[in-house]
Structure 1
Amino acid sequence: MKVAAMEMGKRTKGNPTWELVKFPKQTGNKECGVYRMKFMKHLMEDPLMSTKYKLKELGEAGTYEDEELNDICLELVEYILDFINQGE
């Protein structure tokens, strides 16, 4: 982090403070990629809400429901189909 800051011409003060983050637990063994997509989407959805608050909120959720995971899969399929159709 110090090297990156120096390359951007910024000074760093001390060492970063790391926090232990809780996030939704995956219940099965086949949904790993879907869980990651849902997690990333949740973090990116509201740019005005702090990442720290979003991570706390996700940790309190415990796990994603099947319906939430299915929604992510459907969004991905729609995105891929739109991408394919644009090439035609």
Structure 2
Amino acid sequence: MDSLSNRFVDEDMRNIVNTSIQMYNSHTGKQSSRKSPIWKNLQGTPRQQTNVECGYYVMRFMRDIIHDPGLAFEKKFDKKKEPVVYTQELIDEVRLEWAEFVNKQLQNNK
């Protein structure tokens, strides 16, 4: 779910994610019928306007996935549907949540 116009999945990143999933499954004792995850290129993900807000886009993607108990984000970001747009308000929501989290951590470490 790359928010830049380049939809190429870096092979190193793919290997890191695949290895992480394998390690998690091994650690939890979860058995999988597949050797590795199935990768899908979701073309309908929101595209950032510049190269400076990618971190907030990634955090917004993660937030959307975490708050979606049915894991229907694959359908949400399907290119066949109307593209999802992250408004400045949605990005600012993530910025505020992140700032509140960091502030709380700083207060706890005093």
Partner of residue 42, structure 2: 21
What are structure 2's unaligned runs of at least 5 residues? Answer: 1-17
Q: Percent identity?
A: 26
Quick check: 1:43–1:54 contact (8 Å CA) kept in 2? no
Q: How does 1:61-80 map to 2 (within 5 A)?
A: 61=84, 63-80=85-102
Q: Structure 1: how far apart are the matches of 2:34 and 2:69?
A: 25
Q: How does 1:6-85 map to 2 (within 5 A)?
A: 10-12=32-34, 18-22=39-43, 23-56=45-78, 60-61=83-84, 63-85=85-107
What are structure 1's unaligned runs of at least 5 residues? Answer: none
The secondary structure found in structure 2 opposite 1:46 is: coil
Q: Structure 1: how far apart are the matches of 2:69 and 2:101?
A: 22
Structure 1 ranges of 4+ moved more than 6 A: none
Task: Decide which structure has the larger Cα Rg and report it.
Answer: 1
Read off the aligned partner of 2:53 and give its amino acid letter.
E
Kindly indicate whether structure 1 or structure 2 has the higher relative contact order, using CA contacts under 8 Å at least 6 residues apart. 1
Q: C-alpha deviations, 1:27-66, integer Å up to 9, x for none?
A: 12210111111111111112224342243389721x3111
Read off the aligned partner of 1:60 and give its amino acid letter.
P
Q: Structure 2: how far apart are the matches of 1:36 and 1:71?
A: 13
Task: Provide the alpha-carbon RMSD of the alignment.
Answer: 3.1
TM-score with structure 1 length normalisation? 0.69
Q: Size of the alignment, in residue pairs?
A: 82
- CA 1:75–1:11 in structure 2 vs 1: closer, same or farther (change >3 Å)? closer
The secondary structure found in structure 2 opposite 1:19 is: coil
